[in-house]
Chain A
Amino acid sequence: MGLTTLIKVPSQKDFYDGTQWERKPHGTILLGDKEVAHTLMCPHCGNHFISRKGSGVRRGFCMGCKAVTCGDVACGPCIPFEKRLEIAEEIGRILQKG
């Protein structure tokens, strides 16, 4: 998954109608000078997503990271994004050495 699709239905004013207003947003969306939506970052994969009430998208919550996850199956186990980056960089270094 890892990607939130925003679908506009006729009852919606715009793409961001009904989106969740986060208390501590990780990203902010602005149209012109108006703040219209917030994004959260998954602590495991680094994906930014918008929460929308009634979207039916299931998110998770990591008790280790104390943060909402994107809900992707791969983001179930607690492997923090920083750790994933370190693993990717280590693999990169090994491959570079040959």
Chain B
Amino acid sequence: MARSYAALGSVTNTVSTTLPLLMVMGAANIRTKIYEINLGTSATPADAAARYAFQRATTAGTPGSSVTPQPIDAADPAAISTVGLAVYTSTPPVLTANQFVWGESVNQRATFRWVAQQTKELVIPAVANNGLALMSQALGGTAYAIDLTVYFEE
């Protein structure tokens, strides 16, 4: 049975076409499947619309920090997949043009949650250096800190 993990972090949602907010990298021996995404903010409530999307990537780049995915079942071993959090300063990941697998517009006032049905998850193929990058595509107003949690299984 697949093992589930949660990766969470806080990041400023500055719009960029090259630097992701969060990156989930798979591995050559396993298919990573994202099945839930939560987006919210602890910043002062304001009417700011933002758009986020998951884009396919073929290198990990150098993230600002690494997040250790936590197993949902404490008895499970550490995740094989890796998660990186912005800000990517030196080496950005190589993003695959126009390969978006998920995208939503979100208002700052409402905590957003997307849950996939079983077998309909966002899949990262079992290929080395393949991953999904969460991009901030559009933002109405100034950038603010978002708290995000991504659940995936492998």
Among the listed A32, A50, A89, A92, which residue makes an inter-chain contact with B111, where contact means beta carbons less than 8 Å apart? A32
Q: Are B102 and A8 in contact (CB under 8 A)?
A: no
Q: Are A26 and B100 in contact (CB under 8 A)?
A: no
Which of B9-17, B69-77, B80-88, B113-121 is found at the contact surface with chain A?
B113-121
Q: Are B116 and A92 in contact (CB under 8 A)?
A: no
Q: A3-B100, A15-B107 are in contact. Are A29 and B128 (CB under 8 A)?
A: no
Q: A8-B49, A32-B111 are in contact. Are A48 and B102 (CB under 8 A)?
A: yes
Asked if A2 is at the interface of the complex by the 8 Å CB criterion, the answer is yes
Q: Give the shortest distance, in Å, between A85 (CB) and chain B (any CB).
A: 5
Q: List the A residue with the shortest CB-CB distance to B38.
A: A30
- From residue 21 to 40 of chain B, which have CB atoms closer than 8 A to chain A? 28, 31
Among the listed A1, A47, A85, which residue makes an inter-chain contact with B31, where contact means beta carbons less than 8 Å apart? A85
- Give every chain B residue within 8 A of A93 (Cβ-Cβ): 28, 127
Q: Mark A60-98, 1 if CB is under 8 A from B, else 0.
A: 000000000000000000000100010011011100100
Asked if A55 is at the interface of the complex by the 8 Å CB criterion, the answer is no
Q: Are B100 and A47 in contact (CB under 8 A)?
A: yes
Q: Are B101 and A48 in contact (CB under 8 A)?
A: yes
- Give every chain B residue within 8 A of A89 (Cβ-Cβ): 125-127
Q: Size of chain B's interface in residues, with CB distance under 8 A?
A: 31
Q: List the B residue with the shortest CB-CB distance to A4.
A: B103
Interface centre among A3, A85, A91 (most CB of B within 10 A): A3
Asked if B4 is at the interface of the complex by the 8 Å CB criterion, the answer is no
Q: Give the shortest distance, in Å, between B114 (CB) and chain A (any CB).
A: 5
Q: Mark A32-58, 1 if CB is under 8 A from B, else 0.
A: 100000010100011110100000000
Asked if B123 is at the interface of the complex by the 8 Å CB criterion, the answer is yes
Asked if A20 is at the interface of the complex by the 8 Å CB criterion, the answer is no
Mark A residues whose CB is within 8 Å of B.
1-6, 8, 14-15, 25-32, 39, 41, 45-48, 50, 81, 85, 88-89, 91-93, 96
Can you sample 27 A-B contacts with CB below 8 Å? A1-B98, A2-B98, A4-B103, A5-B103, A15-B105, A27-B115, A28-B115, A28-B117, A29-B104, A29-B112, A29-B113, A31-B111, A31-B113, A32-B110, A39-B102, A39-B114, A41-B120, A45-B101, A46-B122, A48-B116, A50-B104, A85-B123, A89-B125, A92-B126, A92-B128, A92-B130, A93-B127
